[in-house]
């Protein structure tokens, strides 16, 4: 697990039992996180990155990670900033102070979504039961992050390792997403 | 004797594994490797169904998915799947099959009377007969036709299986695994390209599995298949999908495959999906769909025991089944001769080979002679005898005059026919390619590629084993090169034998029979005869599309793969126009019948749509609340106590909310955080109301129009800071409001420094409404002075609730003192339970959406989408107060200036009170001036909302009525079936007209 | 299901991630109050509904959220060009010719 991106940040929720644990693929609920949505112009990215503690990626579909921080590219002027749960208020204040009058928008969206960790050799197969993206490692290398659609639910997928994906959905969609993943995985139990 | 038509040896079935199955209750034996069709034939069963219209006895014709006759129902877990083709159903131990379209039994079918009455059922029969009288359609014709028509019976119970879905990407998708498909897959795979190879059959190999008079690399063709598959199977870049039909070719090389996973297993593991829909995006597609043999159109060509010659050969060589003991072969092409030779080699008596051609190839004649087979050249079959099985055929000799002379009668118990071959161009056609006529081959073949695809082998009209192999390799190499830029040299296998078949014919064969008395079938499944096609032309159907619909030829489950070419030739003759002018109908998805389950996939039951729940959900369930669906959301409708019905529960909830306090879950309301230096400017442009002067800490009701000037959404907007607004939208409007804001921001005003973020799910929202609302929340709120002076109606503050950050709005959708508390969603459950407990101290109640609707209606507050319908302006709704008069522009301002929106006669929002206070109007009911309007009178408007109001102890209603605001005090009528209801037009506020209760 | 290239994400994705926003390059008048009835109706309702090569607005709604424009042959469903919002309308005739239409 050690080579996984952001493994000091995205951790299984200790209080939750696995949603799925097969030898080929498992699904774990991730512990709560601070999630901030940052919208800003190019001129402010450096300052924002400094205040946050990780640079903001400018190339599409990329994530930058540093110690307990991850900045995910969501759009050309949109980033989701991930940090430990307890850092929320301090980070919010720090970024607001640093950016001051520079045009930007910082909004706390920590509770808007939940994350699950889907891992195992069949992880990408399982995601492909509902997501049409080509998850071959050449097309979707480790570190790639994107919003997309899982069946009828919008989701975010972030590949943190060859066989490990972080999947986020808005909270009220999570039951649908995990329910379908578990249902689709059951055929893997058949020898 | 068991399986009297089984050969002594040979075939790909496992003779060591015997399987028992039933057909119409009769127990029979077959082997592993059999299809239901081959097993039935092994038992001497040809009669397997009755035809659609005439209920004629029908037998198995083909050995593939094009089978028109052998449609059966398969029982499993107490229910049946209808209309499966027996030629595709793999045999398993205990399989239960039934025949279809017969009553009371397959052997004696009452519907067969239609056959005797067939002069009454010509082409276009339905169109001609059921026209008059019109009133008969609903009560007489339609029910009778419904009962008699249709193939198979639909299952009665919900599908007990589940269906999988998989999205896949590949460089090269190869559809079909005959010689060219296998070669293409191998050639592509050897370059390293990602390859998916699929075939609708259980085994890969296509025609190679029944070819025993040729060899590839010196091996039996089937052995070469095994070697090739072993090579492909060992490569990580290859996915092999047997039992998988490429049934749909869509735009941008998106191909849908149906993989059948459990249908062939006797006792499948319930964890396995029955079928899987593969949604493949292929860079290149190789279509190796092969070709199918054409039936000959001669009188009584539909008798059980009459099969396609290639099918007969396949049953013999692949399944070890003789289709008869004495077989007549009727052909116009070479390939059927090989079938005759194989039959003879297996000890089957070949009654004769009847070839349409005057001089069949000499080499074939020689082989026939060597085997002692009688050959009748320049001959056709002009009819058959036998009832449920062919027992003899009538021959006719072609004369130079074009007439046919009787050629006697030949006894046989099976008849193999071949009219030549038709390339399977369905997938190519689905890819929107246009087929072209190849006169030499006498076939339509694929023309230019429209998408990234290429056809190979027999599917493009190329025959002969060596040629199709070579073409397949080239197709695979070229496809891989086009997809990846890579190529690789591989050694080609070479074939000997399996030469291309020459000859063939199209259309109806000449005969010497009474044309008005005999039927020569073109489309077996739909019972369309050559005569029907000619009749359609005589009656004015000159386009092949019209002929198709008039006669239903080509509309069967094979989509005309068997019938189209013959029908086209007959039509072309009748029209006296060249075949190419008549044109071919379009092949559409799906290639073969596909289950509804596959298309529905996971979207059923609990997963039909996401079910979105709010943090109060569990509490509501525990406390007996009833939910209603609002879009994907589950919202609490009402909370019945002690056996209350909805009316009683809502009346109690309303009363308590007005007298004491009510608690309502408002979490589903859309929330958008608008942030940036230009936030106020942006809202100024989006909403009708002015925003720039709204003080921080204050709220305002916002009305959102579209540019046409019509109301599309509304909600309260609070200013949290100079450049930060908390916008609320309706529950249903949340996504569309957000999308429209993005649209204007990105494409009309990209210069504005403002961004929007959806926070709908970031916050849980509890509305506490009623005179005791302040007392209820006070113990938990810190950091906010709740007094009326500091926190007047329409204010917002940030503080804490039970120690967690909250945004507290003092707003009301009830007309009572009210607060809405927003906390982070994870604290939503805690907040709800805390407040639910607290309201008990004040004899309060939780209430649902129905009470919310009543309380707001008592106050005349609109619900967008209920009281408005997309054609209502603020003036119509009596809401001109919401328009910032000094604003130069906002979305909809110019629209409102359109003369028709300012003209007299617009519908206007009013209240209606029935004369009888107990009578509740129907929402949607029409409002008229006259008490009993004459038929055809236009309504003056309609009722939009109607409730019993506990506060007034009478019914109330809201309506849109033409010029309604000027009609206050007048009496109008709501005509209903039980009688006209008089109503008085009133203002829209029924309760606390001064608004005193809200400002306390 | 169409395959659509997003010029912001620099990636091709399936149609379900996108929302079609109709004909492109129809600007909202900068001062609507100065428009005539005819001009306003033209802006609101009149669309060319082209059979053939047309410029359309698309939004990568389940991706980066950006609006962009695409030139599509509405008959064959072939996309001939993708470009970012705000960029000028390409020469459709030229594009058609290059595509061999």
Distance (Å, whole) CA B738 – CA B857: 27
Query: Would you state the pLDDT for residue B577?
Result: 94
Whether residue B824 and residue A110 make contact (CB cut-off 8 A), yes or no, is: yes
Distance (Å, whole) CA B63 – CA B90: 12
Minimal Cα–Cα distance from B278 to chain A, Å?
9
Question: In Å, how far from its chain's centre is CA A153?
Answer: 15
Residue of A nearest to C8 (CA): A76
Q: In this structure, is residue C14 part of a structural domain?
A: no
* CATH classification at residue C99: 3.30.2270.10
Three-state secondary structure readout of B835-884: HHHHHHCCCCEECCHHHHHHHHHHCCCCCCCCCCCCCCCCCCCCCHHHCC
Residue of A nearest to C9 (CA): A60
Which chains lie within 8 Å of chain C at 3 or more CB pairs, if any?
A, B
Whether residue A39 and residue B762 make contact (CB cut-off 8 A), yes or no, is: no
Whether residue B165 and residue A184 make contact (CB cut-off 8 A), yes or no, is: yes
Whether residue B739 and residue C59 make contact (CB cut-off 8 A), yes or no, is: yes
- C19 contact residues in B (CB cutoff 8 A): 739
Could you tell me which of B650, B666, B625 has the C-alpha nearest to residue B850? B650
Minimal Cα–Cα distance from B605 to chain A, Å?
11
Contacts of B935 (CB under 8 A, 6+ apart): none
Cβ–Cβ < 8 Å for B310, B397: no
Cβ–Cβ < 8 Å for A74, A80: yes
Q: Does B682 touch chain A (CB under 8 A)?
A: no
Contacts of B973 (CB under 8 A, 6+ apart): B927, B928, B929, B930, B931, B932, B933, B980, B981, B982, B983
Minimal Cα–Cα distance from B666 to chain A, Å?
14
Q: Does B757 touch chain A (CB under 8 A)?
A: yes
Beta B453-455 vs B954-962: how paired, if at all?
unpaired
Helices (H) and strands (E) in chain C, counts: 2, 6
Whether residue C85 and residue B750 make contact (CB cut-off 8 A), yes or no, is: yes
Question: Residue C50: which domain range?
Answer: 44-101
- C35 contact residues in B (CB cutoff 8 A): 894
Number of domains in chain C: 1
Specify the 3-state DSSP secondary structure of C78. coil
> In chain B, what's the furthest Cα-to-Cα distance?
115
- C28 contact residues in B (CB cutoff 8 A): 707, 748
- Say which of B707, B747, B897 has its CB closest to residue C44: B707
Q: Where are the domains of chain B?
A: 1-160, 163-291+423-496, 295-417
Which chains lie within 8 Å of chain B at 3 or more CB pairs, if any?
A, C
Question: Residue B194: phi, psi to the nearest 5?
Answer: -80, 120
Which pTM value belongs to this model? 0.95
- DSSP code, position B138: I
Question: In which residue are the tokens 């000159």 written?
Answer: B542
Q: Does B278 touch chain A (CB under 8 A)?
A: no
Residue of C nearest to B735 (CA): C61
Q: In this structure, is residue C87 part of a structural domain?
A: yes
Question: Residue B316: phi, psi to the nearest 5?
Answer: -70, -55
- A104 contact residues in B (CB cutoff 8 A): 675-676, 755
Segment 45-74 of chain C within 8 Å of chain B by CB: 57, 59, 61, 65-67
Q: Which CATH number fits domain B1-160: 3.40.50.300, 3.30.365.10, 3.40.50.10490, 3.10.20.440?
A: 3.10.20.440
E strand or H helix at B961: strand B954-962
Which chains lie within 8 Å of chain A at 3 or more CB pairs, if any?
B, C
Sheet hosting strand B971-976, strand order edge to edge: B926-927, B941-949, B954-962, B907-914, B979-986, B971-976
Query: Would you state the pLDDT for residue B107?
Result: 78
Q: In this structure, is residue C71 part of a structural domain?
A: yes
Residue of A nearest to B602 (CA): A180
Residue of C nearest to B743 (CA): C67
Q: Does C21 touch chain A (CB under 8 A)?
A: no
Inter-chain CB pairs, A–B, below 8 Å? 114
State both tokens at B764: 């849980």
Helices (H) and strands (E) in chain B, counts: 26, 50
Cβ–Cβ < 8 Å for B101, B52: yes
Q: Does B252 touch chain A (CB under 8 A)?
A: no
CA dihedral B327, B333, B338, B343 (to 10 degrees): -10
State both tokens at B748: 């009309």
- Say which of C1, C16, C64 has its CB closest to residue A76: C64
Architecture per CATH, domain B163-291+423-496, reads as: 3-Layer(bba) Sandwich (3.50)
Question: In which residue are the tokens 């010509």 written?
Answer: B122
- 3-state DSSP percent of chain A in helix, strand and coil, to 5: 25, 35, 35
- Say which of B252, B432, B899 has its CB closest to residue C3: B252
User: In chain A, what are the domains?
Assistant: 20-31+112-189 (3.30.1360.120), 33-108 (3.30.70.1520)
Contacts of B609 (CB under 8 A, 6+ apart): A152, B603, B632
Q: Does A162 touch chain B (CB under 8 A)?
A: no
Which of B740, B886, B894, B897 has the most C C-beta neighbours within 10 Å, making it the best mutation to test the interface with C? Answer: B894
Crossing angle for the helix pair B309-317 and B335-345, to the nearest 10 degrees: 40
Over chain A (191 residues), the average pLDDT of each successive run of 10 is: 84 94 97 98 97 97 97 98 97 98 98 98 98 97 98 98 98 98 97 76
Minimal Cα–Cα distance from A92 to chain B, Å?
14
Whether residue C9 and residue A61 make contact (CB cut-off 8 A), yes or no, is: yes
Q: In this structure, is residue C76 part of a structural domain?
A: yes
Cβ–Cβ < 8 Å for B82, B100: yes
Which of A111, A133, A168 has the most B C-beta neighbours within 10 Å, making it the best mutation to test the interface with B? Answer: A111
Could you tell me which of B345, B347, B337, B348 has the C-alpha nearest to residue B310? B337
Low-confidence ranges of chain C (pLDDT < 50): none
Fold of B295-417: FAD/NAD(P)-binding domain (3.50.50)
Strand partners, B75: B80, B96
Residues of A with CB under 8 A from a CB of C: 60-61, 74-76, 78, 132-133, 146-149, 154
> Is the Cα torsion angle B959, B961, B966, B972 positive or negative in sign?
negative
Whether residue C37 and residue B898 make contact (CB cut-off 8 A), yes or no, is: yes
Within B562-688, where are the H helices?
Answer: 564-575, 579-582, 596-600, 617-622, 646-659, 679-686
Distance (Å, whole) CA B763 – CA B809: 13
Distance (Å, whole) CA B82 – CA B792: 69
- C1 contact residues in A (CB cutoff 8 A): 132
- ipTM tops the 0.95 cut: yes
- 3-state DSSP percent of chain C in helix, strand and coil, to 5: 20, 35, 45
Low-confidence ranges of chain B (pLDDT < 50): 1
**Are domains B163-291+423-496 and B295-417 of this chain identical in fold?**
yes
Q: In this structure, is residue C63 part of a structural domain?
A: yes
Whether residue B742 and residue C65 make contact (CB cut-off 8 A), yes or no, is: yes
Specify the 3-state DSSP secondary structure of B996. coil
């Amino acid at each position: 697990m050690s080579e996984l991106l952001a493994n000091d940040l995205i951790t299984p929720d200790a209080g939750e039992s696995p949603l799925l644990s097969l030898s080929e693929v498992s699904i774990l609920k991730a512990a709560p996180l601070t999630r901030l949505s940052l919208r800003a112009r190019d001129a402010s990215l450096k300052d924002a990155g400094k205040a946050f503690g990780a640079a903001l990626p400018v190339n599409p579909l990329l994530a930058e990670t540093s110690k307990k921080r991850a900045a995910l590219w969501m759009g050309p002027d949109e980033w989701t900033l991930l940090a430990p749960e307890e850092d929320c208020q301090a980070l919010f204040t720090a970024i607001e102070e640093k950016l001051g009058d520079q045009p930007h928008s910082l909004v706390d969206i920590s509770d808007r979504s939940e994350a699950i960790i889907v891992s195992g050799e069949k992880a990408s197969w399982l995601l492909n039961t509902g997501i049409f993206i080509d998850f071959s490692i050449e097309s979707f290398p480790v570190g790639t992050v994107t919003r997309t659609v899982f069946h009828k639910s919008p989701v975010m997928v972030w590949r943190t390792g060859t066989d490990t994906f972080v999947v986020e959905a808005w909270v009220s969609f999570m039951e649908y997403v995990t329910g379908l993943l578990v249902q689709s995985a059951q055929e893997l139990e058949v020898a | 004797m068991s399986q009297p038509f089984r050969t002594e040896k040979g075939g790909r079935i496992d003779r060591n594994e015997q399987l028992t199955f039933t057909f119409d209750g009769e127990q029979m034996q077959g082997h592993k490797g059999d299809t239901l069709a081959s097993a039935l034939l092994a038992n001497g069963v040809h009669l397997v169904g009755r035809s659609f219209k005439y209920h004629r006895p029908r037998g198995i014709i083909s050995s593939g998915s094009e089978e028109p006759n052998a449609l059966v129902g398969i029982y499993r877990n107490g229910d049946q799947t209808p209309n499966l083709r027996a030629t595709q159903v793999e045999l398993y131990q205990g399989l239960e099959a039934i025949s279809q379209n017969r009553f009371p039994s397959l052997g004696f079918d009452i519907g067969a009377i239609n056959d005797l009455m067939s002069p009454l059922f010509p082409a276009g029969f339905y169109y001609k007969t059921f026209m008059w009288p019109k009133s008969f359609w609903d009560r007489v014709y339609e029910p009778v036709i419904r009962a008699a028509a249709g193939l198979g019976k639909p299952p009665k119970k919900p599908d007990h299986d589940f269906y999988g879905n998989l999205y896949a990407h590949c460089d090269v998708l190869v559809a079909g695994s005959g010689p060219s498909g296998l070669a293409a897959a191998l050639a592509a795979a050897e370059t390293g390209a990602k390859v998916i190879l699929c075939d609708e059959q259980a085994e890969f190999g296509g025609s190679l599995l029944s070819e025993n008079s040729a060899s590839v690399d010196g091996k039996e063709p089937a052995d070469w298949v095994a070697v090739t598959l072993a090579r492909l199977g060992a490569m990580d870049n290859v996915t092999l999908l047997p039992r998988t039909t490429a049934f749909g070719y869509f735009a941008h090389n998106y191909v849908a495959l149906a993989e059948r996973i459990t249908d062939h297993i006797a006792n499948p593991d319930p964890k396995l999906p029955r079928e899987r829909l593969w949604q493949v995006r292929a860079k290149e597609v190789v279509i190796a769909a092969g070709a199918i043999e054409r039936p000959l159109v001669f009188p009584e060509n539909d008798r059980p025991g009459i099969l396609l010659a290639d099918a007969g050969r396949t049953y013999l060589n692949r399944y070890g089944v003789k289709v008869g003991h004495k077989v007549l072969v009727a052909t116009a092409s070479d390939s059927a001769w090989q079938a005759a030779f194989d039959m003879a080699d297996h000890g089957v008596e070949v009654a004769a080979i009847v070839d349409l051609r005057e001089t069949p190839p000499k080499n074939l004649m020689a082989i026939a002679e060597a085997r002692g087979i009688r050959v009748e050249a320049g001959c056709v079959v002009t009819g058959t005898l036998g009832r449920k099985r062919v027992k003899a055929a009538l021959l006719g000799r072609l004369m130079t005059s074009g007439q046919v002379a009787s050629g006697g009668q030949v006894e046989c118990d099976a008849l193999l026919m071949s009219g030549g071959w038709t390339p399977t161009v369905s997938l190519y056609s689905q890819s929107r390619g246009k087929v072209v006529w190849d006169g030499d081959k006498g076939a339509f073949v694929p023309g230019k590629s429209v998408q990234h695809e290429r056809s190979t082998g027999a599917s493009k009209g190329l025959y002969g084993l060596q040629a199709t192999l070579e073409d397949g390799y080239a197709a695979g190499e070229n496809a891989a090169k086009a997809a990846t830029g890579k190529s690789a040299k591989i050694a080609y296998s070479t074939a000997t034998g399996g030469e291309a078949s020459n000859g063939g014919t199209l259309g109806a064969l000449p005969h010497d029979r009474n044309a008005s008395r005999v039927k020569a079938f073109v489309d077996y499944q739909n019972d369309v005869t050559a005569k029907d096609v000619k009749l359609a032309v005589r009656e004015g159907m000159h386009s092949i599309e019209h002929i198709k619909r008039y006669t239903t030829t080509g509309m069967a489950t094979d989509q005309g793969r068997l019938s189209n070419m013959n029908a086209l030739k007959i039509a072309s003759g009748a029209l006296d126009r060249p075949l190419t002018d008549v044109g071919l109908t379009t092949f559409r998805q799906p290639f073969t019948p596909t289950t509804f389950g596959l298309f529905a996939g996971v979207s059923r039951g609990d997963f039909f749509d996401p079910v979105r729940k709010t943090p109060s959900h569990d509490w509501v369930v525990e406390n007996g609340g009833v939910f209603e669906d609002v879009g994907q959301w589950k919202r609490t409708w009402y909370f019945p106590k002690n056996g209350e019905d909805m009316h009683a529960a809502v009346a109690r909830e309303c009363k308590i909310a007005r007298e004491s306090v009510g608690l309502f879950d408002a979490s589903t309301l859309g929330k958008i955080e608008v942030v940036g230096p230009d936030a106020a400017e942006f809202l100024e442009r989006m909403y009708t109301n002015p925003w720039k002067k709204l003080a921080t800490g204050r709220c305002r009701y916002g009305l959102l129009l579209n540019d046409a000037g019509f109301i599309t959404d509304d909600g309260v907007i609070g200013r949290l800071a100079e450049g930060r607004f908390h916008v609320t939208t309706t529950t249903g409007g949340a996504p569309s409001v957000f999308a429209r804001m993005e649209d204007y921001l990105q494409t009309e005003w990209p210069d504005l420094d403002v961004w929007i973020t959806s926070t709908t799910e970031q916050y849980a929202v509890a509305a506490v409404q009623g005179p005791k609302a302040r007392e209820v929340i006070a113990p938990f709120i810190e950091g906010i002075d709740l007094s009326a002076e500091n926190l007047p109606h329409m204010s917002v503050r940030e503080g804490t609730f039970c120690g967690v950050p909250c945004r507290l709005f003092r707003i009301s959708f009830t007309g009572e003192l009210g607060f809405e508390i927003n906390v982070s969603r994870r604290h939503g459950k805690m907040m709800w339970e805390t407040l639910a407990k607290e309201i008990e101290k004040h004899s309060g109640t939780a209430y649902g959406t129905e009470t919310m609707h009543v309380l707001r209606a008592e106050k005349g507050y609109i619900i967008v989408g209920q009281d408005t319908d997309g054609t209502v302006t603020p003036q119509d709704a009596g809401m001109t107060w919401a328009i910032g008069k000094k604003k130069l522009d906002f979305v909809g301002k110019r629209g409102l200036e359109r003369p028709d929106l300012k003209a007299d006669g617009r519908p206007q929002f009013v209240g209606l009170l029935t004369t009888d206070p107990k009578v509740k109007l129907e929402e949607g009911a029409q409002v008229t001036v006259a008490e009993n309007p004459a038929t055809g009178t236009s309504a003056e408007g309609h009722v939009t909302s109607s409730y019993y109001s506990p506060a007034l102890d009478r019914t109330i209603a809201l309506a849109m009525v033409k010029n309604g605001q000027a009609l206050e005090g007048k009496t109008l009528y709501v005509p209903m079936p039980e009688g006209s209801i008089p109503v008085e037009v009133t203002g829209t506020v029924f309760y606390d007209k001064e608004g005193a209760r809200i400002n306390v | 299901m169409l395959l659509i290239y997003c010029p912001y994400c620099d990636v091709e994705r399936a149609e379900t991630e996108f929302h079609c926003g109709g004909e492109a390059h129809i600007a909202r008048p900068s001062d609507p109050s100065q428009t005539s009835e005819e001009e306003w109706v033209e802006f609101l309702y009149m669309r060319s509904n082209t059979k053939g090569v047309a410029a359309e607005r698309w939004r990568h709604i389940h991706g980066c959220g950006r609006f962009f424009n695409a030139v599509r042959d509405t008959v064959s469903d072939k996309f001939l060009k993708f470009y970012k919002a705000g960029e000028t309308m390409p020469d459709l005739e030229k594009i058609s010719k290059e595509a061999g239409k």
